[in-house]
Amino acid sequence: MEKQKRTLTAEDLYHLKSLADPQLAKNGSDLLYVETTMSKEKNDYVSNLYYINVAEKTNPVQWTYGENKNHSPRWSPDGSQIAFVSNRTGKNQIYILQKDGGEARQVTNSTNGASNPVWSPDGSKIAFSTSLKSDEALLLEEKKEEEKGNLVPLVVDKMKYKSDASGFWNGRFTQIAVVDVNTKEMELLTSGERDYSLQSWSPDGNYIALTADFSEELDHSFLSDVYLLEVSTKNLQKVTNSTGYFGSVTWSPNSKFLGMIGHEREFENATLSKAWVYNVDNKSLNCLTSETDLLVGDLAIGDFQQGAVTPGLLWGEDNESFYFLATDHGNTVVYYGSVNGELYPALLDQQHVYGLTTGGNINQAVVAISKAQSPGELFYLDVPTGELTQLTNANASFLDEVQLASVEEIEFKSKDDWDLHGWLMKPANFKEGEKYPLILEIHGGPHAMYANTYFHEFQTLAAEGYAVLYINPRGSHGYGQKFVDAVRGDYGGRDYADVMEAVDYVLDQFDFIDENRLGVTGGSYGGFMTNWIVGHTNSFKAAVTQRSISNWISFYGVSDIGYYFNEWQIKSNSLDDIQTLWKHSPLAYVDSVETPLLILHSEKDYRCPIEQAEQLYIALKHKKKTTKFVRFPESNHELSRSGKPNLRMERLHHIKNWFNEYIK
């Protein structure tokens, strides 16, 4: 008799394991990856390194222990050692672990921590990233007693002074340093009042690839150029031409080619990223995917994986071939390419590939894959045959116990004849002949993509008895350049029509949906769209807006991206065009709101600052509308994906309870 499974709860996040950042050694057998779980006791995330012998298909073996965050494993060139990052001493530093065993050895003692370890080709040194003020030493020094705990004012003289990811600027710039793995001597390779992003070390040992923006006026510059830093002299050689944004730089084994991912900002932040190759000998830079509508990289959206890393172009031993991830029609897939212009999929399926490693072998890869009913596992890919062999079963016990909801793909034509694509998730305990309420979910970005991937929020709602509809309206990635660019200047226009027509489509096609019990929710741009919807239709019985935008006029001056995002996305000259900004602001339509609206927002959200929620809440309350405001302390824009575990649980419960109160 088949075991009766229970339905999922929000707290099941504590039982799930995120497997990410797989790293295959050059021998093609030794594999390391990071397993992350949430600790209820610590109210934090715990990450450790695990090992598998791919050739022998051994069971995973845990290599680091403890309640800390151990991550970013990187094999030494000879495969005998692993560099990784750990916060076991209170701040991130780089450690080395011998493959044949023993305790991890700390090799950096950097003042403000160290990250992103990159081995030198001879294995004697590790380059890393760190942040420093102009008067700070690289080596950690004990603070003077009078310096400890003193409050100081924040003096601001630039526009880019805050970031949702890192908070207020602390006067530090990201620099590149190197440490001798034997002597632990550290040396700065870059300096000055500029940020440098470490990329990769050339196999011949001569150069370190990095990215930086050398524009004189950085507040209005959005460039990322590739440079080669000559290790012996520290001289910089410019590779790209200050035409756009480039990164994820990798070397061919013979140091003759640089692979990179980037674009020339033809459509600002809606531009598709492409694959590029730079020939070191003749100094030529060519875009290899210019004739396609393929988006290079992983732009799928989810709320589960922790520490996923999108690699750049992963070169083969022939110095001409490489693999990379691409985002395409609701999936992320593995593509093969070559410097000669060859381009074709190597792994094309209904999936989200959120990790890829080859060890430099063109015939094999290890991929991290998630699907709607699979939180994520690692697989060995035999490239010539396309055969996948599962290497891990970290979430098997969870899947044996919990009944996840099934998902059906939908495709339909919009009223203006555009192809639209999405999914309908059935309630977890779906029964034929019964009627169910529906929740419409809208993603952020707007240039992101819902995908064939695990989404805990959706599964939580499905377990509560809701069907969940999620589509990629125009503005989403994965469907070509014209599609992703179509939302700019049209917020609340055809994008709004797309999501509403999706609701009409499923109501027409699926008779189990109760048209009188509809809800809507979304975050960031999805929060904007939720606000817009309740101000333009009464079709929904309840709505939950998350980390939203309500007023583009104030957003201009308070968001970490506002002063340029308005111009790029609303296509308004900001404060010179108040009328356009107000026309696209949901706050302008509060008189029309009849839908009960729950407002969720994080106190330290600098992307969509909490004043956006405050304005909306007060305006609705002042007009005696049905609303409630929940503020999450010490949290930023990423609350739903990487916030404090207890607050993530609270958020999911608030969403569920609001819909239960007003829809069920």
How many Å apart are CA 444 and CA 453, to the nearest integer?
Answer: 16
Which DSSP letter does residue 158 get?
Answer: S
> What does the angle CA 169 – CA 175 – CA 180 come to, to the nearest 5 degrees?
140
C-beta pairs of 381-386 under 8 Å, 24+ apart in sequence: 381/334, 381/346, 381/347, 383/336, 383/346, 386/346, 386/347
The stretches of 70-150 forming alpha helices (DSSP H) are none
Query: 330 CB contacts (<8 Å, ≥6 apart)?
Result: 350, 409, 421, 422, 423, 449, 450, 451, 452, 472, 478
CB 141 within 8 A of CB 614: no
Which DSSP letter does residue 417 get?
Answer: S
CB 462 within 8 A of CB 426: yes
Which DSSP letter does residue 267 get?
Answer: T
Nearest C-alpha neighbor of 422 from the set 484, 487, 503, 488: 503
CA dihedral (563, 568, 571, 577) in degrees, to 10, reads 10
Task: Classify each residue of 5-43 as buried b or exposed e, where b means 16 or more C-beta atoms within 10 Å of its C-beta.
Answer: eebbbbebbebbbbbbbbbbbbebebbbbbbbbbeeeee
Task: Classify each residue of 433-471 as buried b or exposed e, where b means 16 or more C-beta atoms within 10 Å of its C-beta.
Answer: eeebbbbbbbbbbbbbbbbbbbbbbbbbbbbbbbbbbbb
Enter the tokens of residue 299. 């732009």
Enter the tokens of residue 126. 């590790």
Give the Å distances, CA to CA, from 115 to 72, 313, 474, 513: 8, 21, 37, 49
Residues annotated catalytic, as ranges: 524, 637
Render 546-568 in DSSP notation, one character per residue: ES----HHHHHHHSSSHHHHIII
Nearest C-alpha neighbor of 28 from the set 411, 426, 462, 358: 358
* Whether the bond into 117 is cis, omega within 30 of 0: no
Q: How many residues does the structure list for the chain?
A: 664
CB 555 within 8 A of CB 562: yes
Identity of residue 503: V
CB 339 within 8 A of CB 257: yes
Coil, helix or strand at residue 539: coil
Q: Number of C-alpha atoms within 13 angstroms, CB side, residue 226? A: 27
